[in-house]
């Protein structure tokens, strides 16, 4: 096959029962894309074929509206009498399947990071009224590194029987929620169950339920409680056992109500420590949760906040160390994450900053680049987020706008303060 629709094929990525996936070139936009081709037989099916065609565009356009850093974007879709295709973001790394085997497990911290990103992405999709309904390791892709994840294959109708991804997957009920197995009506909570199963597998390298045939699997999913992950990998802390158990509750009402709630528990577990060696670096999930709780970022939506996580430079500053020196040229600004910063001019203390406050922002605001008007030094051991002006210029317009709005708010406050002092003095 040298073309799918009008996309020249570079190579085949995978194949399933009802479709196959190719790496293609998009010559008009000059980028590589993953194109899933639906087999004509699937469309010719007298019963399902018609229904499928009907649902196709509804689902594809709905899923196409999801724009999130951790969801593989759908760019285009087309369907004819006996051909159909979906054009998606190409995610080159592989899938989580690779890390679901005992000999290739990821550190606990990375597992939490991955699951955290998935919970936030699912929360976003659910908010837009889209449930995935087929969350499994084969549908969680990664790009540059294992924690750089994208959930793929949104939109159940598009999956036909959900047996292909960019890499082949297996047709198995292993990740289905009990209500899905019973063929009851499902909602977004089915995704949270399935993600619980994925988390289980990423933690221990095997499925929560082992079965030699489908029927036994079905029986166990609906009847048995799985062994806690720590029974199989003793380093898994009780906090993660609890999270998996809650996510995998058989009764949907007893599970997490939302991806956000799931995410909160993950962060709490991370903060409490996962029992492994003390961390020197901040994981993405940790960074995200920290920023999410800060007033400065209160108007940023998730996608924009993930951009900040990526573009910012995170640093620990020991007490006494100067971050910004009066009179020097500055090309970055900072946000104090925790600790204390002392601002002084001519060795005279002007003010003390606390967590959530920014400093050095004139470098960004003045546009022309500016020499620092004051010195800022750590008054206690602190953590800061440093943002280079040049890096911010690479961010999306909406992300930059949020910074602008935040700074405008700060400037207006300061100006009002200055005017009050001027008129009262």
Candidates 70-78, 145-153, 258-266, 326-334; binding stretch for other proteins (CB under 8 A):
70-78
The structure tokens listed for 391 are 């890096």
| Residues sharing a CB contact under 8 Å with residue 87, sequence separation 6 or more, in sequence order | 5, 7, 24, 26, 33, 34, 35, 74, 75, 76, 77
**Looking at 27, 102, 320, 354, which residue binds other proteins (CB under 8 A)?**
27
Site string for other proteins, 358-397 (x = CB under 8 A): ----x--xxx-----------------------------x
- Is there binding between residue 329 and other proteins (CB under 8 A)? no
- Is there binding between residue 301 and other proteins (CB under 8 A)? no
- Told to judge if 26 belongs to the known catalytic residues of this protein, a careful annotator would answer no
Which of 375, 388, 386, 379 lies closest to 325, judged by CA? 375
For residues 206 and 154, give the distance between their C-alpha atoms in angstroms, rounded to a whole number. Answer: 25
**Looking at 10, 40, 42, 57, which residue binds other proteins (CB under 8 A)?**
57
Candidates 27-35, 237-245, 257-265, 267-275; binding stretch for other proteins (CB under 8 A):
27-35
**Looking at 64, 169, 237, 339, which residue binds other proteins (CB under 8 A)?**
64
Query: 286: alpha, beta or left, given left = phi > 0 and alpha = psi -120 to 50?
Result: alpha
Which of 180, 249, 173 lies closest to 214, judged by CA? 173
Helix (H, G, I), strand (E, B) or coil at 312: coil
**Looking at 210, 223, 298, 419, which residue binds other proteins (CB under 8 A)?**
419
First to last CA, the chain: 80
Give the gyration radius of the chain's Cα atoms: 25
Minimum distance from residue 366 beta carbon to other proteins (Å): 6
- Is there binding between residue 293 and other proteins (CB under 8 A)? no
For residues 173 and 134, give the distance between their C-alpha atoms in angstroms, rounded to a whole number. Answer: 10
Number of residues that bind other proteins (CB under 8 A): 39
Catalytic residue among 134, 191, 265, 302: 134
Q: Report the Cα 401 to chain-centroid distance in Å.
A: 22
Nearest residue (CB) to other proteins, 127 versus 415: 415
Tokens 């104090």 appear where?
336
Nearest residue (CB) to other proteins, 8 versus 354: 8
Minimum distance from residue 357 beta carbon to other proteins (Å): 17
Site string for other proteins, 161-200 (x = CB under 8 A): ----------------------------------------
Minimum distance from residue 412 beta carbon to other proteins (Å): 5
Minimum distance from residue 407 beta carbon to other proteins (Å): 6
259 touches 265 (CB < 8 A): no
- Is there binding between residue 405 and other proteins (CB under 8 A)? yes
95 touches 139 (CB < 8 A): yes
Which of 291, 255, 241 lies closest to 112, judged by CA? 241
Minimum distance from residue 56 beta carbon to other proteins (Å): 9
Residue 112, class by beta-carbon neighbours within 10 Å (0-12 exposed, 13-18 middle, 19+ buried)?
A: buried
The structure tokens listed for 66 are 């999801």
Catalytic positions, written as ranges = 134
Q: Which residues bind other proteins (CB under 8 A)?
A: 3, 5-6, 27-30, 57, 60-61, 64, 76-80, 362, 365-367, 397-398, 400-401, 404-405, 407-409, 411-412, 414-416, 418-419, 421-422, 425
């Amino acid at each position: 096959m040298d073309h799918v629709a009008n996309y020249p094929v570079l190579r085949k990525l995978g194949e399933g029962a009802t479709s196959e996936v190719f790496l293609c070139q998009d010559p008009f936009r000059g980028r590589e894309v993953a194109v899933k081709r639906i087999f004509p037989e699937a469309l010719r099916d007298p019963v399902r074929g018609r229904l499928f065609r009907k649902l196709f565009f509804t689902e594809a356009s709905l899923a196409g509206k999801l724009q999130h850093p951790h969801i593989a974007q759908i760019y285009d879709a087309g369907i004819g009498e006996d051909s159909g295709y979906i054009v998606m973001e190409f995610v080159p790394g592989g899938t989580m399947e690779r890390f679901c085997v005992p000999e290739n497990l990821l550190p606990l911290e990375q597992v939490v990071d991955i699951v955290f990103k998935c919970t936030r992405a699912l929360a976003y999709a659910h908010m837009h009224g889209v449930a995935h309904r087929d969350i499994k390791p084969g549908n969680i892709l990664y790009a540059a590194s294992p924690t750089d994840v994208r959930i793929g294959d949104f939109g159940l109708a598009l999956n036909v029987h959900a047996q292909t991804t960019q890499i082949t997957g297996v047709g198995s009920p292993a990740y289905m929620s009990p209500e899905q197995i019973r063929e009851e009506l499902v909602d977004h909570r089915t995704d949270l169950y399935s993600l619980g199963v994925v988390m289980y597998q990423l933690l221990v390298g095997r499925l929560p339920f082992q079965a030699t045939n489908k029927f036994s699997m079905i029986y166990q999913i609906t009847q048995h409680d799985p062994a806690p992950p720590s029974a199989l990998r003793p380093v898994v802390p009780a906090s993660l056992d609890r999270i998996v158990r809650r996510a995998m509750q058989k009764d949907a009402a007893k599970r997490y109500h939302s991806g956000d709630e799931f995410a909160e528990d993950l962060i709490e577990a991370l903060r409490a420590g996962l029992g492994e060696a003390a961390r020197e670096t901040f994981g993405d999930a940790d960074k995200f949760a920290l920023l999410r709780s800060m007033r400065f970022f209160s108007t940023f939506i998730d996608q924009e906040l993930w951009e900040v996580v990526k573009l910012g430079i995170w640093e620990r500053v020991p007490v006494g160390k100067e971050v910004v020196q009066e009179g020097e040229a500055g090309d970055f600004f900072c946000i104090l994450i925790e600790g204390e910063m002392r601002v002084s001019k001519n060795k005279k203390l002007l003010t003390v900053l606390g967590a959530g406050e920014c400093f050095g922002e004139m470098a960004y605001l003045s546009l022309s680049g500016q020499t620092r008007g004051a010195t800022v030094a750590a008054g206690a051991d602190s953590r800061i987020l440093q943002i280079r002006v040049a890096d911010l210029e690479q961010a999306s317009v909406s992300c930059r706008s949020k910074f602008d709005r935040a700074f405008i708010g700060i400037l207006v406050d300061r100006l009002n303060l200055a005017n009050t002092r001027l008129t009262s003095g």
